[in-house]
Amino acid sequence: MSGAAWSQSAALVAVLLATAPFLGRYMAKVYGGEGKAPGDRVFLPLERVVYRLCRVDPESEQRWTSYAISLLAFSFVSFLSVYALQRLQSVLPLNPVGLPGVDAHVAFNVAVSFMTNTNWQAYGGESTMSHLTQMAGLTVQNFVSAAAGMAVMAALIRGLARRRAATLGNFWVDLTRGAVRVLLPLSFVVAVVLAGLGVIQNFKGHTAVTTLEGATQLIPGGPAASQVAIKQLGSNGGGFFDMNSAHPFENSTALSNFVENWAILLIPFALAFTFGAMVRDKRQGRAVFGIMLTVWAAMSIGAMGLEAAGNPRLDAMGVDQSVAPDQSGGYLEGKEVRFGPAASGLWAASTTGTSNGSVNAMHDSFTPMGGGLAMTHMVFGEVSPGGVGVGLNGLLVMSVLAVFIAGLMVGRSPEYLGKKIQAAEMKLVMLYLLAMPAVLLGFSAASVLTESALASLNNAGPHGLSEILYGYASTANNNGSAFAGLDSGTVWYTTTMGLAMLVGRFFLIIPVLAIAGSMAAKQPAPATSGTLPTHTPLFGGLVVGVVVIVAGLTFLPALALGPIAEQLSL
Amino acid sequence: MLRQLFAAGGMVAVSTVVTGLLYPLAVTGVAQAAFDDKADGSMVERDGEAVGSSLIGQSFEGQGYFHPRPSAIGYDPADSGGSNLGPSDEGLLEDIETRTREYREANGLADGAEVPVDAVTGSGSGLDPHISVANARLQASRVAEARGMGAGDVTALVDEHTAGRALGILGEKAVNVLELNAALDEAAPLN
């Protein structure tokens, strides 16, 4: 790995360490519920208007079941809204290029995709969606699906922190406060900064220009910066343009790239500190942060190194892939010169570890093990650091599993934060763990056996299998990045991947809420000398081990037939 | 249940207005007021006419111009895209071998001479506005000859249009092809 790679990742970690704890503590006040939060004078009157319009009583608390029903109702209406906007865009305003309505199966896939915070894109942004669909449909879901994920996390933390309680908070209040006090202000600042760095923000259609050699180029327009800011901050990842953050109008310079990469990681890492503050034990938050950072750093170093090492087949042709002062080197197919293998690898690890899914380089063209690493990072279950809210949920579920395994090893009844882990919780943990692999491997196997599904492949051999596996890994984990060679716009893929996204969202969120409800009712026991402390490096290592072993046992055979086989064949 | 659906409908409606309309409009207002050139796409003008965007690559084939990287979409910004072919794809590998041979011929390099990787691989967006410094240096003598310029003058222009790493550490050094070619036209117009 080059000096540039080390210094860029060190700079990113430094900026995260300077910003994430601060934001995390602020968010603990936003979701804490007790006493005042900063900015009440500005935000409270706005929120009261929202509650009045929606006839929500902000003082009333919900049990886990009604919390879940509110979330489902909200997701359902969101789905309808995005679906309708796409189907009707040809007769609605703000459609300067005159795009037609979107096909039903694609519209279903996209509506599910944005409502579940996946942002898998079975369409080309600039050639499918009108400005109105992008703004009023997709950008809105970028905000609210992220705010919904954070709300569930707040409910889970309350479940762990409260004693003998029946309720977890109010979904509508959590949703509103997350969007109004966290996502909107942050996005506004990041969007303006990005526009200042060259990311476009206008309402034009195509501008025709005559190039120096006399050809005609159609330069696109649109409100990109405002969508890019929230797509990164909210773990969404759906691009304004087909090629996402590789497109110069979405990610203009190395500096905009750094800002966007930071924005991808900021909230997921900050939530570790929110957790520590809300359970009134900062050591727990720091331990969670340490676990997330360790896995993310290892994957980042791996991806940067593998892409910088280049493609051995090119060496034989006399192509110079060496890292040198006058070129970035590395394997540059699918990568931009201004980013090179270092910034592309760092981004790949960040976007797959967060369920973000935006890309600044084409993962389909990564070296086999580089692409395999991105896939592996997703099947870890999106916990390093994971998507906004849902990532912390995943890590806490893994922590519960780790205490359970440790408890079995020493023959003590397992506890997490003083609360006993019993059969009811472990059944829910198992449901959480099995849902994602079941749809991922099930649909992948079905695709391999379906002739029309194989016709969508852009690559033959092991790389073709990687394209399918990556697609379902991405959708089942609500990530949204792609091995984009796969033509996923067919009826088969839009439908099965739509289902994978629904399972990946709701079969994980509902067990989490059930766990929260069951934990909230318990009375914590005081810690004794026999209690396993959950803030030590030893416990951190145990959780990382559980994450790696669960993913390894489930996915190693599939990975061996895809990326590993391809690497060996080069 | 009905009350929940009503609340859900209200929330979707309110957030559509606030995050879907007011938010992008506010960002547009501030961006257009503060830096409209950048928010409008960093257009490059010559004699008052836009000739492209400094962020979007264009195709150049003439001997007197620096050539950009290969593009899977022929530098058509209305439909961005890369090859999305894997590293073991035989068709892609053949293309890369052919491009390597052609690059050597076009720039008078010896058989088997090393060719910079960016010159023979396509970018992800298909719109990469940059080439590496190594790639630009190897093309300089061809361009100088075609324009009847001194090799030193062309190299000096290359240096002038090379952007270093942002803040000294971020990203990679890169040469902006459109800006460099526009500067060449200014210095020594082609006939």
- Mapped onto helix, strand or coil, the DSSP state of residue A324 is strand
Residues of A in contact with B172 (CB under 8 A): 4, 254, 327-328, 337-340, 342-343
Which of B172, B30, B131, B34 lies closest to A257, judged by CA?
B172
Whether residue A385 is preceded by a cis peptide bond, meaning omega within 30 degrees of 0, is: yes
Minimal CA–CA distance to A92: which of B172, B87, B186, B21? B21
- Low-confidence residues of chain B, pLDDT below 50? none
Kindly determine whether residue B42 and residue A252, on different chains, have CB atoms separated by under 8 Å. Answer: yes
pLDDT greater than 70 at residue A126? no
Closest CA to B5 of A155, A168, A76, A81: A76
CA A240, CA A548: separation in Å to the nearest integer? 34
Per-residue pLDDT at A128:
87
Q: Which of A70, A204, A328 sits opposite B132 (nearest CB)?
A: A328
pLDDT at B43: 95
pLDDT band at A515 (very low <50, low <70, confident <90, very high): very high
Decide if A223 and B27 are in contact by the 8 Å CB cutoff: yes
**For residue A200, what pLDDT is reported?**
96
Which chain B residue lies closest to A344 (C-alpha atoms)?
Answer: B171
Select from B3, B45, B55, B131 the residue whose CB has the most chain A CBs within 10 Å, as the one to mutate to test that interface: B55
| Cβ atoms A534, A403 nearer than 8 A | yes
Rounded distance, CA A493 to CA A471, Å?
A: 9
A113 C-beta neighbours (distance < 10 Å), count: 29
Gap from B56 CA to chain A (nearest CA, Å): 6
Under DSSP, is residue A221 helix (H, G, I), strand (E, B) or coil? coil
Can you tell me the mean pLDDT for A11-33?
95
Strand segments, DSSP code E, in A45-110 are none
Contact A20, A270 (CB under 8 A): yes
Q: Is the pLDDT of residue A33 over 70?
A: no
> Do A566 and B88 make contact, defined as CB atoms within 8 angstroms?
yes
Mean pLDDT, chain A, whole residue set: 94
CA dihedral of residues A80, A84, A87, A89 (deg, nearest 10): -140
Per-residue pLDDT reduced to its tens digit, A319-343: 999 999 999 999 999 999 999 999 9
Q: What is each CA distance from A348 to A118, A132, A365, B28, in whole angstroms?
A: 16, 30, 12, 29
- Helix ranges (DSSP H) in A89-170: 104-115, 125-128, 131-132, 140-161
**Mean of pLDDT values over A364-380:** 96
What the block records as the tokens of A160 is 């762990």
Does the beta carbon of A368 lie under 8 angstroms from any beta carbon of chain B?
yes
Distance CA A104, CA A107 (A): 5
Q: Which residue in A241, A336, A466 has the most chain B C-beta atoms within 10 A of its own C-beta, making it the best mutation to test that interface?
A: A336
| Span A294-311, pLDDT tens digits | 999 999 999 999 999 999
pLDDT of residue B191: 65
- Chain A hits for B181, CB-CB cut-off 8 Å, are 212
Q: Which residues of A touch B3 (CB under 8 A)?
A: 55
CA distance linking residue A75 with residue A444, whole number of Å:
26
CA distance B187 to B181: 10
pTM over 0.80: yes
Q: Would you say residue A124 has pLDDT above 80?
A: no
Which among A299, A358, A179 is positioned nearest to B23, based on CA atoms?
A179
pLDDT band (50, 70, 90) for residue A346? very high
Interchain contact, B8 vs A76, CB within 8 Å: yes
Residues 6+ apart with CB under 8 A from B172: A4, A254, A327, A328, A337, A338, A339, A340, A342, A343, B132, B165
| pLDDT value of residue A1 | 66
The partner residue sitting opposite B27, judged by closest CB among A226, A248, A311, is A226
pLDDT of amino acid A32: 87
At residue A493 the predicted structure's pLDDT band, cuts being 50, 70 and 90, is: very high
Domain ranges of chain B: 1-35, 43-187
For residue range A537-557, what is the model confidence (pLDDT) as tens digits?
999 999 999 999 999 999 999
Chain A residues in contact with B89 by the CB 8 A cut-off are 459-460, 463
pLDDT at residue B123 in the model: 97
Which residues in chain B have their CB less than 8 angstroms from residue A11's CB?
A: 169-170
The greatest distance separating any two alpha carbons of chain B, rounded to the nearest whole angstrom, comes to 79
**Mean pLDDT, range A91-110, rounded to an integer:** 92
Handedness of CA A203, A147, A264, A119 (dihedral sign): negative
CB pair distance less than 8 Å for A368 and B122: no
Query: How high is the pLDDT of residue A205?
Result: 84
In DSSP terms, A210 is beta-bridged to: A216
List CB contacts (< 8 A) between B1 and chain A. Answer: 69, 73
B84 CB neighbours in chain A (<8 A) are 334, 362, 364-365, 458, 483-485
From first CA to last CA, the distance across chain B in angstroms is 76
Nearest-angstrom CA–CA distance, A471 and A504: 13
- Per-residue pLDDT tens for A214-250? 999 999 999 999 999 999 999 998 888 888 999 999 9
Q: With 0-12 CB in 10 A as exposed, 13-18 as middle and 19+ as buried, what is A236?
A: buried
Q: Worst-scoring range by mean pLDDT, A282-286, A456-460, B87-91?
A: A456-460
Across the interface, whether the CB atoms of A4 and B23 are under 8 A apart is answered: no
What stretches of A127-281 adopt beta strand conformation (E)? 207-210, 216-219
Task: Return the residue matching tokens 């009108």.
Answer: A130
Ordered by start, the domain boundaries in chain A are 390-569
Cβ–Cβ < 8 Å for A467, A486: yes
CA distance A357 to A187: 18
First and final C-alpha spacing in chain A:
21
Greater model confidence, B25 or A125:
B25
∠ CA A283-A289-A295 to the nearest 5 degrees? 140
A501–B contact, CB cutoff 8 A: no
CA distances from A70 to A27, A65, A113, B191 (A): 22, 9, 19, 70
Considering only residues 295 to 334 of chain A, which have any Cβ-Cβ distance to chain B shorter than 8 Å? 310-311, 313-314, 317-321, 324-334
Nearest CA in chain B to A49: B14
- DSSP tag of B166: B
| ipTM of the shown complex | 0.97
What are the angstrom distances between the C-alpha of A427 and each of A433, A509, B53, B108?
Answer: 10, 14, 57, 69
Cα A419 from Cα A251, distance rounded (Å): 46
pLDDT for the residue B127:
96
**Do A54 and B11 make contact, defined as CB atoms within 8 angstroms?**
yes
Report whether A8 contacts B170 (CB < 8 A).
Answer: yes
- Closest CA of chain B from A522, distance in Å: 28
Cα gap A128→A241, rounded to integer Å: 10
- The total of other beta-carbon atoms located within 10 Å of residue A423's CB is 7
As a whole number of angstroms, the distance between CA A403 and CA A412 comes to: 10
* Closest by Cβ to A320, choosing from B116, B130, B170: B116
Q: In this complex, is the C-beta atom of A384 within 8 Å of any C-beta atom belonging to chain B?
A: no
Rg (CA), chain B: 22
